[in-house]
Chain A
Amino acid sequence: MWDYTDKVKDHFLKPRNVGELEGANAIGETGSLNCGDALRLYLKVNENERIVDASFMTFGCASAVASSSALTEIIKGMTLTEAAKLTNEDISDYLGGLPKEKMHCSVMGQSALKKAIANYRGIQILEKPGQMVCECFDVTDLEITDAVKKNGLKTTEDVTNYLKAGGGCGKCLDRIEALIESVMLKDRMIQ
């Protein structure tokens, strides 16, 4: 059984802000039925770009539901500019931490939020920049190197825990390993 904090359990069993949000003027969606979790985030944003209400619908495990619930609680009352700065670690910290295998649940929250903000501002998020590495979970090389740098990831397993990349068919694991090595190499050169 996973070592979930009481806060994760609480947000899973009594999720806050579940369901469609009437009058929502921004929606962000991430994940899919195939990859095992998905989140649809609804925001109601006022004329001052402040999030006055938020809700979610989530398909996924306990930590996915808890991360979604936590996300809506965190961002209520924030301006979009403030919300845009939110990281997946803020979500995880709010819940008192997540098991490392479940960090991708908090990444999913951050990603849905980004998309909702873009949706409100009328920005279409087109194709992701960079080259596709993990086709199972739609993750690019730039996303991987970014996550490796920011979170100090060291192994392909770490990358899978954060981004899911490499967790499906596993064909891209060599490529992920090469990306980690290239980031580490650059780090050493800088030092």
Chain B
Amino acid sequence: MKIVYTDNNATTKVADEVIQEMLPYFGEFYGNPSSMHTFGDQVGKKIKEARQKVADLIHADPDEIVFTSCGTESDNSAVYSALNAYPDKKHIIASNVEHPAINNLYKLLKRTKGYKVTFVPVDKKGLLNLDILYKSLSDDTAILSLMWANNETGVLFPIEKIAQKTQEKGVLFHTDAVQAAGKVPIDVRTAGVDMLSLSGHKIHAPKGIGVLYIKKGLKFSPFLIGGHQEKGRRGGTENAVSIIGLGKAAELAKEHLILMDTKVRGLRDYLQKALLEKIPSCSVNGDLEHRLPNTLSIGFDAVEGESILLMLDREGICASSGSACTSGSLDPSHVLMAMEVPFKSAHGSIRFSLSHYNTKEEMDHVIASVVPVIEKLRAMSPFWKDGKLV
């Protein structure tokens, strides 16, 4: 069966060009990039090249790029560094729709270290309440961490605008740009953030490689204590193969930004329009305007997400759900709940997230599959009768 992969916010296909770039470093060139000898140093040189390419993607200086093992490590490193830099500050801020890498870390810090935590709410469209955010910034705030784009809905936060305020108030600002990178332009020079997290496997590099951008001059204390690697900012022998792959992926991501804005956005809008037209009682989650070009979160009334996904799986379609049953918890995702998406559609919310590898034919297959699946599930739902919600 042909796979139609529309789950690119979960992970992405490793680009063929990336695989080609990495292959020699699995075998022939196995040297340690830190070695004095030429054999190892040729890997070191290649890492230097990769660092430059990653820096280029976000308009940073290569010295500001630290390679980590994943987005979660980058997020954790950023927060712990801020807390170490300002041991007297006992207040931390995030939104209430953050990724668990921030959300659960904050909850832990509250529970075990007594930090005062502000989770700034979003509105029904997933947009951040800036009034509450600005009012919560204080001299006691050690760090503000906000995602650039939401993984579930694709909703974008106005990072640059917020950074102006944090700079005024002298509050450290970290952004988790894992979902934004490669989908919308990122320029750290104008964004004004202090730290920024990226993840390789969301931009067609392999899993297990992440990046933390640390603004030049920022006081930083490492999360992993070890050797001199990454200029002492992250111990541990470099994941050379993946870093080299990420370099190539970053280069491609920069080239493909235009494709995201045109082709991918077009496919997403095509899918969205067709589903809204062909299926009654469904609605898009998240602000339509301030949204990633590749993401569609759509809620179908009176049916449940896991059932939808398993039936789509039979058609070779890969997607995600914000429903409770897929995650093992009982409430729908905290993101949809924070947006007060009504239960009737929250439980039946599906996320389609596209990449430039998707085609119009694939969208047609998705549309042709989703319509009968929803019909079939509604036919057995006690909350659906005579073509409407009861």
Judge whether A38 and B328 touch: CB under 8 Å: no
A35 to B32, CA, bound (A): 54
How many residues of B are in contact with the other chain, CB < 8 A? 26
Q: How large is the interface on A (under 10, 10 to 19, 20 to 34, 35 or more residues)?
A: 20 to 34
Contact B381 A61 (CB under 8 A): no
Residues of B within 8 A of A35 (CB): 330
Interface segment out of the listed B55-63, B183-191, B202-210, B300-308: B300-308
Residues of A within 8 A of B306 (CB): 2, 61-62
How many Å lie between the Cα of A187 and that of B209 in the bound state? 51
B380 x A38 contact (CB < 8 A): no
Q: Which of B314, B328, B331, B380 is most buried by chain A, counting CB atoms within 10 A of its CB?
A: B380
Contact with B along A47-70 (1 / 0, CB 8 A): 000000000111111101100000
Chain B residue nearest to A34 (CB atoms) is B343
Q: Does A44 contact B (CB under 8 A)?
A: no
Q: Are A60 and B330 in contact (CB under 8 A)?
A: no
Q: Do B380 and A57 touch (CB < 8 A)? A: yes
Contact B382 A168 (CB under 8 A): no
Q: How far is the CA of A38 from the CA of B379 in the complex (A)?
A: 14
In angstroms, Cα B221 to Cα A108, docked, is: 52
Q: Is A120 an interface residue (CB 8 A)?
A: no
- The closest CB in chain B to the CB of A9 belongs to B310
- The distance from the CB of A59 to the nearest CB of chain B, in whole angstroms, is 4
Please report which residues of chain B, range 328-386, place their CB below 8 angstroms from some CB of chain A when the two chains form the complex: 328-332, 343-344, 347, 379-383
Residue A130 lies at the interface, judged by CB distance under 8 Å to chain B? no
Judge whether B310 and A12 touch: CB under 8 Å. Answer: yes
Query: Which residues from chain B contact A33 at a C-beta distance below 8 Å?
Result: 302, 343-344, 347, 383
Q: Which residues of A contact B343 (CB under 8 A)?
A: 33-34, 36
B307/A137 in contact, CB under 8 A: no
Q: How far, in angstroms, from A81 to B323 measured CA to CA in the complex?
A: 37
A18 interface residue (CB < 8 Å to B): yes
Given contacts A33-B344, A59-B302, A137-B330, contact A40 B382 (CB under 8 A): yes
Is A96 located at the chain interface by the 8 A CB criterion?
no
**Is the Cβ of B380 less than 8 Å from the Cβ of A36?**
no
Q: Is the CB–CB distance between A15 and B325 below 8 Å? A: no
Q: Decide: A59 and B314 in contact? CB cutoff 8 A.
A: no
B330-A59 in contact (CB<8A): no
| Nearest CB on B from A188, distance (A) | 30
- Assembled-state Cα–Cα distance A139/B379 (Å): 29
A62 touches B381 (CB 8 A): no
Q: A12-B310, A101-B328 are in contact. Are A39 and B382 (CB under 8 A)?
A: yes
Q: How far is the CA of A157 from the CA of B13 in the complex (A)?
A: 35
Assess A65 versus B323: contact at CB under 8 Å? Given A12-B307, A168-B331: no
Contact partners of B274 in chain A: CB under 8 A? none
Q: Which B residues touch A15, using CB under 8 A?
A: 380
Decide yes or no whether B324 CB sits under 8 A from chain A: yes
**A residues neighboring B (CB under 8 Å):** 2, 12-13, 15, 18-19, 29, 33-40, 56-62, 64-65, 101-102, 136-137, 160, 164, 167-168
> A15-B380, A37-B325 given. 14 additional CB < 8 A pairs?
A18-B379, A29-B382, A33-B343, A33-B383, A36-B324, A36-B325, A36-B330, A36-B343, A36-B347, A38-B383, A58-B380, A61-B307, A136-B331, A167-B331
Subset of 5 A-B contacts with CB under 8 Å: A33-B343, A35-B330, A36-B330, A59-B382, A101-B328
